[in-house]
Structure 1
């Protein structure tokens, strides 16, 4: 220390960016895209506003970067949660759902950015979330299809046979996460169990070759 001045530790660029992104996700998640300001992000990150612009160019670029980071983290959490591909399909689905609800509960601001803010402010933000959702649907479709092919002893069973179920399951998980995050006392495990109880009876019957069929017209 010279003349009473305190030297601030110079952070590596990656760490500084992470610090600003963490602050931005919090501000966007709580204030919304239109309500958030770069001044708030800079203050929360403990940096100057010009530095935020130097690293992340504009508010739109910053918001897009937040969406991409949170989408990547969520999909990685789900894939990592499923883990062992040798597990039965219901166990894999349970582990994936538990990971999904655990992540959304532990990162409410990031989930708000993905589920609320990005979807309500038009392109290109909505397209970023749609890409994440499509990746999750493909992942769930493949998970269900593998088990269905084995049960039906039909290695050529097309994925379209279960793609609609995957779409419905991902949509239900998104809605349930929004509810769980605003309902006191609902844990990630409870939310995952709720969706398994709702979905697996139907999925299990379909995989076993016992689908429900509509009455004749």
Structure 2
């Protein structure tokens, strides 16, 4: 442990702690994770961990905040106004699923563990609501005749729910990003053609 406590800039040390926390939370779940196990994984002392993050709740909130920002950043290219709505949707799907594939522990913490914790479920739901609103907007823009019979909000809820289920398969290594993207894009456009 002494080798892991050499002098590092505060920002680097914070990221090291968050990285360790994400791994341990994803492996053990929120309740079964101890500050001792996170400190050990980060190769720091428990008092140092408490110095940076005063409680397990505070540390978990910091993990959700950081990973949530990275998750949103992964989908930012989809906001390019020069792309067609279908291209934007595809970019959003690729960004979303690539994030899940490359940050499997983050996905588990963000969407599978945080949602089950009363204190953090609101943060996750807020992020999910923004994703649903974006998806509904893309679906509406891509429909030739978006009449009142189309419930784009409900369609977006279904697509995001399907996306989360498929993302779980990506995180589990059962399907690759390309296959998952093709499936979800086809699902979205078939649904629009049928409506």
TM-score (norm 1): 0.80
Give the one of 166, 178, 183 matched to 1:194: 183
> 1:26 is matched with which residue?
23
Residue 110 (structure 1) aligned with residue 136 (structure 2): no
SS of the residue corresponding to residue 11 of structure 1 reads coil
Give the one of 9, 34, 42 matched to 1:37: 34
* C-alpha separation in 1, matches of 2:65 and 2:173: 27
The within-5 A match list for 1:174-213 is 174-184=164-174, 186-203=175-192, 205=193, 211=195
Retained in 1: the 8 A contact 2:35–2:56? yes
CA RMSD across the alignment: 2.2
After TM superposition, which residue ranges in structure 1, 4 or more long, deviate above 6 angstroms? Answer: none
* C-alpha separation in 2, matches of 1:66 and 1:189: 28
* C-alpha separation in 2, matches of 1:12 and 1:141: 43
> 1:127 is matched with which residue?
122
Q: Which of the pair is proportionally richer in helix?
A: 2
Q: Note the C-alpha offset of 1:197.
A: 1.7
Residue 60 (structure 1) aligned with residue 57 (structure 2): yes
Residue 138 (structure 1) aligned with residue 133 (structure 2): yes
SS of the residue corresponding to residue 124 of structure 1 reads helix
Retained in 2: the 8 A contact 1:75–1:136? no
* C-alpha separation in 1, matches of 2:111 and 2:28: 14
Larger CA deviation: 139-148 vs 28-37: 139-148
Gaps of 5+ in 2: none
Retained in 1: the 8 A contact 2:107–2:171? no
Larger Rg, first or second structure (1 or 2): 1
* C-alpha separation in 1, matches of 2:6 and 2:111: 36
Retained in 2: the 8 A contact 1:102–1:189? no
* C-alpha separation in 2, matches of 1:49 and 1:171: 38
* C-alpha separation in 1, matches of 2:98 and 2:113: 20
The C-alpha deviation readout for 1:35-90, integer Å capped at 9, x for no partner, is: 1111111111121111111111100111111112212211221123x152221211
SS of the residue corresponding to residue 40 of structure 2 reads helix
Residue 169 (structure 1) aligned with residue 164 (structure 2): no
Gaps of 5+ in 1: 1-5, 212-217
**Number of residues of Structure 1 aligned to a counterpart in Structure 2:** 192
Q: Note the C-alpha offset of 1:145.
A: 2.7
> 2:46 is matched with which residue?
49
